[in-house]
Each structure stands twice: as C-alpha cells, then as structure tokens.
C-alpha cells in the first residue's frame, strides 16, 4: 500500500484538477468560512437549504455536507431529502453532528440522518461522536472528551456502514473499522477560530468527491487543514490574522508539500485486518 502521506498528495492534485462542487447544508455561523475554505482549497462551494430545491442542487454536486450547527425543522427536512438523493446518485455525503449530545434535538437529528443514510463519512469532535452512541456529549459545541475515548464509538459507526469516521482533536483519528490513520498535524489556534471544524468536514467532502477510498480521503483532508494551520500560525499575531493566513495557506499548499508535511500513522483497527 502506498504511504498515506504520498497518497494524500495525489488526492489533492486530483482535487485541484477536478475542482469538485460541494453542496453544503450548513449553519449560519460557519457558512462564510466554510465556503472560503473550499474556494481556497480549489473546490467550489454551493449552499442551498430550501426543501424545495435541495434535491435538484444535489444533482449538480460532486459531494454533499449535512451540518447540524444551527438546525431547524426545515433545514433537517432539507438534509433528509438531500441525503437520500445524494445516496441515490452515489455521491459522497459527510455528516457533521455539531453539538450532538448537547440537546436531544441535535442527537436525534444526527441519529436519524445516519439511519436514513448512512452518510459515507462523519466528522466530529470526541464528545459529538460519543453522543452518537448515547453519550452525553459536551457542553454545547465544546469537546470535553479525548479523541481516543471516542474511538470505540467511531469503530462501531464504521461497522454500521459509515465508510470513514473522523474524530478530531489534538491528534485526529480516522477509522473505517478495519484500518486507522492518525493525523498529527494542526495548531491550537484552529480551536480559536469559529468554523474550522465545519470547514474540516467540508474539506473531507471535497476529498471524498475525487477519491473512492474514504479513509485515505478523510485523512488527506484533515492533514491538509492541519498543515495549513501550522503554516498560518507562523507569523500570525492571534486568531484574526491566523484565520486569514489559514485561507492563504490552504490555497498555497501544493501536493508535494502536503505529502512531505503530513504526519500520518497507519494501523489496523483493534480486531480489524489492515
């Protein structure tokens, strides 16, 4: 098997060549930053959340994001319609269960989207992933649990049909139930800018649009954002200039630099066959 860092570089090159259209049904807090991150990466964003049009928009898209950042009944209906259509078309769907565990409304919404799908991938912080197995989750969108704590739930979700589950934190974990990749890129300032988690989910969707192996795609996306964060932090004087520099770094990151700077560690899942 090709080393995942080299592979990540190859996927990024393909993404830049194809510029996939990512349809995001997301929240009003992170929508601008998410769109800008996709544009900086080399993908194309489109946002549409009216139940009247989401299925038709999905027909244009190369990937779909469903994000529970500020859910409403209407947006959830749109997400269900879009998810079903995306699965019927065979394009990847990534779920971001923002705040799952914080309210029953969000937890139920996440579980119902998984049941209706499943999505090809899920990305969340440890508390959110734990909540998908009945955990209490964090306070709001805040993570109080460590990444490895959530790994059994991530593996269980993968066993249930989600092709890649990403738990992000100091060191990210991505699992497909058999194989695991840990991503040791990133910078603490990423947690001081709103929407970086939502952007990570959208980047995962963009990578999945051009790469069939969901595990490799998700790991590549997270490495990409993490490295951009490391580069942006050099010379940033705080979270405001960091956010601007993060977009600059995402655009400037070459496939070769990604392959060289990605800190990816592969292993077999406990009980899995690598």
Per-residue b or e along 153-166, where b marks 16 or more CB atoms closer than 10 Å to that residue's CB: bbbbbbbeebbbbb
x-marked contacts with a copy of itself along 206-245 as a string, rule CB under 8 A: ------------------------------xxxxxx-xxx
Give the number of other CB atoms < 10 A from CB of residue 57.
20
| Residue number with CB closer to a copy of itself (24 or 164) | 24
Query: For residues 73 and 91, what is the distance between their CA atoms, to the nearest angstrom?
Result: 24
x-marked contacts with a copy of itself along 87-116 as a string, rule CB under 8 A: ------------x--xxxxx----------
**Residue 80: both structure tokens together:** 């269900």
Question: Of 69, 165, 45, 168, which is closest to residue 117 (Cα–Cα)?
Answer: 165
| Residue number with CB closer to a copy of itself (50 or 88) | 50
Decide if residue 29 touches a copy of itself (CB under 8 A).
Answer: yes
Query: For residues 36 and 57, what is the distance between their CA atoms, to the nearest angstrom?
Result: 19
Question: Of 126, 139, 109, which is closest to residue 197 (Cα–Cα)?
Answer: 126
Decide if residue 126 touches a copy of itself (CB under 8 A).
Answer: no
Q: In the set 7, 8, 9, 23, which binds a copy of itself (CB under 8 A)?
A: 23
Give the number of other CB atoms < 10 A from CB of residue 136.
13
Binding segment for a copy of itself (CB under 8 A), chosen from 31-39, 126-134, 255-263, 265-273, is 31-39
Distance in Å, CB of 18 to a copy of itself, minimum: 12
Would you say 183 and 219 are in contact if contact means Cβ atoms under 8 Å apart? yes
**Residue where the block lists tokens 């998810």:** 83
| Residue number with CB closer to a copy of itself (50 or 184) | 50
| Residue number with CB closer to a copy of itself (77 or 148) | 77
Ramachandran angles phi, psi of 93, nearest 5°: -120, 135
| Residue number with CB closer to a copy of itself (56 or 112) | 56
Would you say 24 and 39 are in contact if contact means Cβ atoms under 8 Å apart? no
Q: In the set 1, 2, 73, 271, which binds a copy of itself (CB under 8 A)?
A: 73
Decide if residue 251 touches a copy of itself (CB under 8 A).
Answer: yes
Interacting residues with a copy of itself (CB under 8 A): 21, 23, 27-33, 35-36, 39-40, 44-50, 52-53, 56-57, 60-61, 69-74, 99, 102-106, 139-142, 191-195, 236-241, 243-252
């Amino acid at each position: 098997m090709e080393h995942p860092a080299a592979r990540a570089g190859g996927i990024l090159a393909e993404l830049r060549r194809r510029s996939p259209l990512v349809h995001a049904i997301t929240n009003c807090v992170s929508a601008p930053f998410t769109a800008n991150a996709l544009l900086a990466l080399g993908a194309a964003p489109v946002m549409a959340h009216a139940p009247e049009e989401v299925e038709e928009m999905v027909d244009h898209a190369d990937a779909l994001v469903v994000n529970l950042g500020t859910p409403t009944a209407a947006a959830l209906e749109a997400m269900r319609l879009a998810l079903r259509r995306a699965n019927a078309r065979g394009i990847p769907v990534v779920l971001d269960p923002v705040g799952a565990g914080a309210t029953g409304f969000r937890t139920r919404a996440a579980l119902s989207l998984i049941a209706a799908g499943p999505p090809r991938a899920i990305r969340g912080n440890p508390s959110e992933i734990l909540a998908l197995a009945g955990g209490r989750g964090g306070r709001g969108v805040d993570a109080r649990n460590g990444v490895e704590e959530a790994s059994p739930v991530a593996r269980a979700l993968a066993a249930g049909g989600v092709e890649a589950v990403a738990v992000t934190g100091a060191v990210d974990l991505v699992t497909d139930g058999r194989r695991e990749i840990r991503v040791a890129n990133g910078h603490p300032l990423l947690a001081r800018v709103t929407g970086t988690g939502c952007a990570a989910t959208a980047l995962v969707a963009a990578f999945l649009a051009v790469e069939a192996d969901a595990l490799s795609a998700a790991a590549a996306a997270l490495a990409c954002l993490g490295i951009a964060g490391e580069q942006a932090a050099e010379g940033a004087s705080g979270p405001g200039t960091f956010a601007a520099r993060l977009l600059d770094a995402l655009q400037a990151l070459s496939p070769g630099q990604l392959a060289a700077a990605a800190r990816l560690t592969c292993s077999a899942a406990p009980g899995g066959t690598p």
